[in-house]
Chain A
């Protein structure tokens, strides 16, 4: 059984703690590392791939420490986030070179198979420097899959992809996961992983904040209450009108206006305009207060 294990892993840079005491086991199937930018996802990815030593704790991939262990890459593949490929090569040259670096017996056939899998056959003979960001991402994944790895680490793989490419990539990751591979990807955009299923590990502030099934998290996301900042010609009157609506669960009068907690996003945004008009109140501001990723993640944590 190939699995990734992190035991009490921390990583700090001087006084900055990037990853704080994370323990988790990642098995076959698709696992997402989710969290806002700067949460420590990339640091964790780099440590799993052996490109960063943990300051404390231990990381093993298939039972062996990943630090200073390039032989691990016979079974492991990494798709780095940075868009740095040998741009002077064609897509085919890049994937074939990777196959050769892995010492595959038939590099050309392996490359052809990987390129087909990523639907890059049409562009394979063009220089990578002419590729779009999404295409570069796909050729990187093709190169990563060329040696049929058992563990695939993808750092922000959906960056720069259009919705169709994203769906195709998600299907591909699922397929790979269903075949028993360990697929780990990181993402800071919850919406882009909405269609994925599997396990998610939520990383916030360098800590493992939550882990669980995609579907459960998704449900929480859809049902979560929304906070709005509302300003009007008469905040107090508007507040008392709003609190009577079922879509509103709390109203607070602050010096900056009303802070309204809506339990139903859609109904609230539809009702608020009509309600203020009915009461002869002029709305001057309606701002969602908690749409930042951080607040979404914080909410997920609290649940």
Chain B
């Protein structure tokens, strides 16, 4: 070789990379999908305002915001968390990130943080606004639902980022949908033990610890919710890092 190239290489061991985060954010916002994020939030706030004006029964806020609100949270996380890595794997642009010495852990965590922040902005904040419209800005229900939704943003995104790193992006989306609609939406309310493996129930447990409202149907204690949520989040992210470290270009026999 014509001599080793001497140069200072900055440390690559940081947990987050500003460049990866900026690229991820711009990639997401440049897609038409970005408009989709805002739609459910607007609908939720609209429903809340409408019910506030028309509903006679005072029970609707925890019922609606606990179910519809958290469903919107899950689906928003699915769209965002499923695309921060998934969309780039799909179009192949992820190679430009992975063909650099940046660690896979940094790639996963940077993208994950962006997904969490966006989900908080597009689902948790609207959940709070809806709660505030329903029961007042400083009501324990609004604040409880907000905190639960913040935690939900953290947990759901870990799950969906992991899913795109483990499965193909389209399959990850399908699995995510099944998880949200079937596992959490249907089974968790019928079969008691299922709630133990439900990000929605972790979030509801956290919300209920502040709101203390039986209409939220939180059937886990806050300790279980926080503990399980933390374990699931860390495990999912670790698996995502592991899978991305073994990232293979697929279906290319040529």
Contacts and interface: CB of A to CB of B under 8 A. Distances in A.
Task: Answer whether A and B are interacting partners.
Answer: yes
Task: Name, among B95, B98, B104, B245, the residue most crowded by chain A CB atoms within 10 Å (CB to CB).
Answer: B95
Nearest to B11: A103
A41 B252 CA distance: 10
18 contacts: A28-B1, A40-B253, A43-B253, A51-B247, A52-B249, A68-B246, A70-B100, A70-B245, A80-B99, A84-B93, A98-B100, A101-B20, A102-B100, A103-B9, A105-B8, A150-B1, A180-B1, A180-B3
Interface string B63-87: 0000000000000000000000000
A73 B5 contact: no
B9 A70 contact: no
Nearest to B90: A84
A88 interface: yes
A49 B30 CA distance: 29
B2 interface: yes
Chain A, interface residues (CB within 8 Å), range: 35 or more
B246 to A, nearest CB: 6
B100 A16 contact: no
A18 B251 CA distance: 11
A98 B96 contact: yes
Chain B, interface residues (CB within 8 Å), range: 35 or more
Given A28-B1, A51-B95, A70-B245, 17 more contacts: A41-B254, A42-B254, A46-B249, A49-B99, A51-B98, A70-B100, A71-B12, A84-B95, A86-B23, A88-B26, A101-B17, A101-B97, A103-B11, A103-B12, A103-B101, A105-B10, A179-B2
Nearest to A144: B99
A72 B104 CA distance: 13
Interface string A1-43: 1100000000001001010000000001000000001111111
A170 interface: no
A263 B98 CA distance: 50
Contact of A89 (B3, B9, B26): B26
Interface string A40-65: 11110010010111000000000000
Contacts, number: 115
B248 interface: yes
B27 interface: yes
B16 to A, nearest CB: 13
Contacts of A42: 252, 254
A97 B23 contact: yes
Nearest to B10: A103
B27 to A, nearest CB: 6
Contact of B99 (A28, A37, A78): A78
A68 B245 contact: yes
Contact of A70 (B17, B19, B103): B103
A2 B3 CA distance: 10
B254 A38 contact: yes
B5 A82 contact: no
A85 B96 CA distance: 8
Nearest to A18: B253
B12 A40 contact: no
Contacts of B23: 86, 89, 97
B56 interface: no
Nearest to A186: B254
A80 to B, nearest CB: 5
Given A1-B1, A53-B246, A53-B248, A70 B253 contact: no
A104 B248 contact: no
A100 interface: yes
B102 to A, nearest CB: 5
B96 A46 contact: no
B252 A70 contact: no
Contacts of B104: 70
B248 A52 contact: yes
B226 to A, nearest CB: 34
Nearest to A149: B5
A77 interface: yes
B12 to A, nearest CB: 6
Nearest to B18: A100
A71 B95 contact: no
B2 A43 contact: no
B7 interface: yes
Contacts of B93: 84-86
A42 B20 CA distance: 27
